[in-house]
Amino acid sequence: MKKVIILFAAIACLSASATLAMAAPDGAEIYVKRCKMCHDLEKKKMAVAVKAMTSSPEEMSKMIVNGRKMMPKFEGKLSAEEIDAVVAYFQSQMAANPCAGKNPCAK
């Protein structure tokens, strides 16, 4: 009987940890679905849009929540966790490629 209880407890723990792991938002996926159409890091003529996105994480989060100029607000469309994930992703991409979106690239 103890073995059965231990087995069920182990299965429950594994299921809970798998659910938690899947629940974390994927910043790259959100970026591709919601941001890339206007903030494509591969396009050289996106300097203005990308420049606005190089501010602090707090400022970027505010821009995403409230919108800015032509950018729509995402308040109620993205959770705080999703916004944090996409900000972290975007900033990691900018750190990896500081010339992204610049025309010409200032080295």
Q: Where are the domains of the chain?
A: 26-96
Alpha carbons within 13 A on the beta-carbon side of 13:
6
pLDDT band at 76 (very low <50, low <70, confident <90, very high): very high
**Fold of domain 26-96:** Cytochrome Bc1 Complex; Chain D, domain 2 (1.10.760)
Rounded Cα distance, 17 and 14, in Å: 5
Q: What is the pLDDT of residues 8-66, one digit of tens each?
A: 666 766 665 555 556 789 999 999 999 888 887 777 655 556 666 667 889 889 999 99
Spatial contact of 40 and 46, defined as CB atoms under 8 Å apart: yes
Alpha carbons within 13 A on the beta-carbon side of 40:
6
- Compare 67 and 21 and report the one with higher pLDDT: 67
pLDDT for residue 69: 85
pLDDT for residue 75: 95
Over residues 74-84, mean pLDDT: 95
pLDDT > 90? residue 82: yes
pLDDT for residue 44: 61
Please tell me the pTM assigned to this model. 0.67
pLDDT for residue 81: 96
